[in-house]
Structure 1
């Protein structure tokens, strides 16, 4: 066996897992069917927030570990793509969120006129907001600096990887439906609109896990990211112009200046939501070796990436 570990998948889950393992001294190679910048992760908004992900008890642990790591990475935002940004999550209160709220410094409840838009309450917090193209490039650089590598190649099963590594880590996202034979995975389509930022400095979100449409905007370098949708079972990667107009209109109800902002582009991604929650467990196939599954992170892959990577390392080393 020529490698200690092969990680299948080059999105934020796969790359973060690979960086974690390489940092612990493992020889790591990432196999991905597309460049990291072409993955679903590159499309993400991406605000640290546990959204559309289960199970709740484990999510808190994974999310908090990730939060601490992003707080460190925010010291060099130009390189890592991670910034700490103030904002408001509307139409919810602290009592409606998970135990993770106690780990967010300064998180507080708002009511009345303190909440933008037609909402009676919300919470304010300074949270990691991640420029995903920059962050994915940073992760790849960190992997290579630790002696790891990335190879773009098609993967039709885990057998070939298992023949070349002691450990295979399945971070294939929606691809795990076929690779791992998991019929619990389903796509949840998200569409975004990128516009010139008309002066918005704080993030805003009002997204209900049970609704297909939401309103959020995230100020990223050189653009304002508007969202969004959560369309169960939809697989089209083509932006829908009607949906795009509706997204802009919803965001403009919160910040009217968004209505006239120049549109820079459109993005669509398929979130890997799994019935029953994230699959993060190890098994030993008949051929020997170790296969660790780490997929099904729904709309919160960025939020739990480092926590899940740490758990993968425990399984690999345990």
Structure 2
């Protein structure tokens, strides 16, 4: 009998894990209370960049693995992943450039930067999530994984049908396992506008007034954002939206007056440290895989490879 695995969650982490487990020969079912395009992952800016990610050898390995995999995925035009040029804007005397260990970067031209700022120009993967998530789901299904719409409230109850459960439930991960109250939802609001022909990204984590980023998807520009720890409202706030547009227009003046296509809010799973580990004392084997904060896409393939190494049948 094949190893039966339930992956709880159908965001970018859950689907990436399901893909790797199915590719390794396991019998995989993704259990989800929301379609992939209804998850927080669909709201994500989805550029490879370790935003508020922990510094550790394990996470470093996942960053490198994900970058390598996304570069390969970008070779498939149907995947919705493009290698984009852009600038990471810096406003501190000693900016954190640890990410340049994986992605080639060079100092940005001062004429492209806000007054008084420094910055690094780089080329990294950026996903159009409205295309990438359905593509990833289709890849999972082609490998034999199933997607089942089911609300999971009791992980131990899955022992009736599965040998292992992987909890990739994002902000709900700690609550679902019942042994971790350290997960803090981090509210992120974005607005999507028509693209006037701007195909580079800009990220300014320390912009005056708050986080600012302009990310060119294939179907729009994603403007963000917010980092509101502990806030859980999923309703877009008009005042916050206006401030986001103002900050982003300061970075890219061509945004001014562009029609709004859509708006969205997601709850990032904030945690001091990423949790990828076996959880003892359960009715079946359980692996936790959550706490990615604002780096879900960035760490997704590396997480999937790590979980697959943990789940391998003993």
Normalising by the smaller structure, the TM-score range is over 0.9
In the alignment, what sits opposite 2:259?
262
- Unaligned 5+ residue runs, structure 2? none
Q: CA deviation at 1:177?
A: 2.8
Residues 93 and 122 in structure 1, CA contact (< 8 A), matched pair in contact too? no
1:68-105 Cα offsets, whole Å, 9 max, x none, are: 0000011123x111100000010168963354412213
User: Matches of 1:16 and 1:200 in 2, distance apart?
Assistant: 30
User: Matches of 1:17 and 1:117 in 2, distance apart?
Assistant: 39
In the alignment, what sits opposite 1:4?
4
User: Matches of 2:221 and 2:2 in 1, distance apart?
Assistant: 45
Change beyond 3 A, Cα 1:27–1:97: same
User: Matches of 1:99 and 1:228 in 2, distance apart?
Assistant: 23
Alignment of 1:163-242 (within 5 A): 163-181=160-178, 182-208=180-206, 213-242=210-239
User: Matches of 1:164 and 1:186 in 2, distance apart?
Assistant: 31
Residues 91 and 206 in structure 2, CA contact (< 8 A), matched pair in contact too? no
Residues 80 and 218 in structure 2, CA contact (< 8 A), matched pair in contact too? no
Which secondary structure does the structure 1 equivalent of 2:190 belong to? strand
Identify the match of residue 299 of structure 1 among 272, 294, 299. 294
Which secondary structure does the structure 2 equivalent of 1:249 belong to? helix
Which secondary structure does the structure 2 equivalent of 1:239 belong to? coil
Q: CA deviation at 1:116?
A: 2.6
Q: CA deviation at 1:183?
A: 0.7
| 1:88 and 2:84 are equivalent in the alignment | no
Which secondary structure does the structure 1 equivalent of 2:211 belong to? strand
User: Matches of 2:306 and 2:2 in 1, distance apart?
Assistant: 24
User: Matches of 1:23 and 1:146 in 2, distance apart?
Assistant: 6
User: Matches of 1:280 and 1:188 in 2, distance apart?
Assistant: 19
Residues paired across the two proteins, number: 312
In the alignment, what sits opposite 2:277?
281
User: Matches of 1:94 and 1:48 in 2, distance apart?
Assistant: 24
| 1:54 and 2:54 are equivalent in the alignment | yes
TM-score calculated relative to the size of structure 1: 0.93
Which secondary structure does the structure 2 equivalent of 1:213 belong to? coil
- Over aligned residues, Cα RMSD in angstroms? 2.0
- Unaligned 5+ residue runs, structure 1? none
In the alignment, what sits opposite 1:253?
250
